[in-house]
Chains A and B, each alone.
Chain A
Amino acid sequence: MLAYIVRRLLWTPVLLALAAFFVFMMGTWAPGDPAELRLGNRATPERIERERERLGLDDPFPVRYVLYVADALRGDFGESYHYQGKPVLEIIAPKLWVSLQLNLAALIVAVAVGLPLGFYAAKKQGTGKDPAIVITMLILYAMPVFFTAPFLILFFAVNLHWVPAAGWGGFFSSQIVLPALTIGIPGAAVFVRHMRASTLEVIGQEYVRTARAKGMSNFVVNYRHVARNALLPILTIMGFTLAGMFGGSLIVELIYGIPGAGRLSLDAIFQRDFPVLTAFVLLGAAMLVLANLLIDIAYTIVDPRIRLQ
């Protein structure tokens, strides 16, 4: 167990370094000269030459990469090409924080809707309710955000005036409701699917029958014996789901006008602001890797049957 965690922790930096290498390579391969991008098209060739030297763009690729990683380890991700003179970290950190809050809210929606519904569907297997829930969730899952987002805005903000239509006001403002729903509903569909499957598996177990035979109340059997054990495998997909939602929040942030990381990374791609992009990918990947590691460790604690090797 400890050896496993150590090995994972040792591998993580290597993984991140390789991922950084990939993005870094894309950056150097992308068309356009960063020095020219920074100085605009009226710069003289001499100035561009000097800028290239200052940025170290003429150094061989491996040298630049190693220097970059060394700086990154100290928390210095370089300067943005687009927002001149601003350290990358200063640009990214607030946006990443916004996206994190948004996706956390979405995860809460997904879990709060998905888990009970999945459990309920499994309990109602054999009746019409089970397939009805499954199909409804599949329809919602397949619903493109290009439709969900404007539809929710039109219905709840424009027609009913329940919540603001767009913008960003932090985790506790009502503006977060619609985007969180937009991202959370397809996420809920994923949870329904897994929760249903895992509940069905547990329901058939003998200890559940024993518990019933002992005369335990329905409530206790359902929640202590079935739901608790059915929840275990759900933990492992939590990380994946969060990652998937992070990708999905890209378009959602665009439509709702939320100043988050999705928006930032899109702008960075179009402006060829590779220092920002590289840092963003690195930080995002690092969070993902660590989240998955924490989930794996948590899993062994909640379910002692699992032994990691």
Chain B
Amino acid sequence: MTSIADIEATELDQIKPKGFWRGVWSRFRKRRLAFSGLIIITFIYMLGILAPVIQTHDYRETDLRNTQQGPSAEHWLGTDRAGRDLYTRVVWGIQTTVIITVTSFITGSLLLGVSIGLVAGYFRGWIDAVIMRVGEVISVFPDILLIILLAATLRPRIVEFARNIEDSTGISGLVSSGIVDYFVIGVALLPLSWFGMMRLVRGQVLVMREAEYVEAARAMGTSTPRILFRHILPNVVSPVIVSVSFGIGAIALSEVVLSFFGLGVQPPRPSLGVMIGDVTARGGASVSVLRDHPEQLLSPIIVVWLLIFCWNIVGDALNDVLNPRAR
């Protein structure tokens, strides 16, 4: 005869202790909508990464006898005014989005935002005050306007600088490769990406630094960097992930807007924003294009739409899954 205690013991044995992240993952997977959002994001990002392999034409190749064509076997999504293959250009445009989102998320949000947030929250005092005031000044500006202003002002300087490097070192193609464009966009997006993240991390750290385990670590003589990176940082990872997944959609959209105005990625390199700006003549011809050649406007737009939507639902789900208290 087995007692209740025995049953409980065997059942408890069978439950394997799950790690935090495994639990998060299994809860996330149960959310069908968000999970399919993640799959769509992965798919779109794969398209961008594999652009050189899956392209059907060259993105610069113009076919002036087949301009403004609808979708066909030859051109899957049709062609634009210069007879360039829309599918190929969309795929390369996605690659631009991939590069921009990944680099500005790493530089702006992760490196700058998290580290400054850690410093401000942990040391407090005048460092914190200065950082917060700087952030306040920056957040006074409307986002998009500030980004456009930065891009317009910095671009000539940065291009000039890159040309100088090319001349003095003999490395060629720095400007034409588009690296400079990415750099300009990355810098212009910095104010957008760092402050929100920094404020978030700072808030968490302000709470964490008073926690007993941190006090214990301090009492044991643990060095400050170790306290910051081993004891505090792991505890702010969850909100950081949520904020990143909301932020990436905004970053992707900002690049599209910049390139739409001709301040971001420069032709011939495609970007979704460049495509939208091209076909609509910077907005003026939007209506006639949508009526006469919807595929030209919709191909880049649907990708942008899907990306922003999916990052948002993923962010929502992550927020629920990672913050059990908020559920």
Contacts and interface: CB of A to CB of B under 8 A. Distances in A.
Given A243-B142, A250-B144, A266-B148, A144 B289 contact: no
Contacts of B152: 30, 269-270
Contacts of B150: 26
A165 B212 CA distance: 63
A170 interface: no
Given A19-B137, A30-B153, A150-B290, A281 B145 contact: yes
B243 to A, nearest CB: 16
B261 A138 contact: no
A144 B140 contact: no
Interface stretch (A88-96, A221-229, A283-291): A283-291
A154 B256 contact: no
B297 A146 contact: yes
B301 interface: yes
A86 to B, nearest CB: 21
A247 B145 contact: yes
A281 B153 contact: no
Contacts of A150: 280, 286-287, 289-290, 297
A244 interface: yes
Contacts of A26: 149-150, 153
Nearest to A254: B283
B267 interface: no
A247 B286 contact: no
Contacts of A288: 140, 142
Count class of interface residues, chain A: 35 or more
Main secondary structure of the interface of B (DSSP, over half): helix
Interface in A18-36: 18-19, 22-23, 26, 29-31
Interface residues of B, number: 43
B287 A146 contact: no
Interface in A125-150: 135, 138-139, 141-144, 146-147, 149-150
B205 interface: no
A144 B253 contact: yes
Contacts of B305: 142-144, 147
B143 interface: yes
A158 B291 contact: yes
Interface of B: 33, 133, 136-137, 140-145, 148-150, 152-153, 156-157, 249, 253, 256-257, 260-261, 276, 280, 282-284, 286-287, 289-291, 297-298, 301, 304-305, 308-309, 312-313, 316
Interface of A: 15-16, 18-19, 22-23, 26, 29-31, 135, 138-139, 141-144, 146-147, 149-151, 153-154, 158, 165, 243-244, 246-248, 250-251, 254-255, 265-266, 269-270, 277, 281, 284-285, 288-289
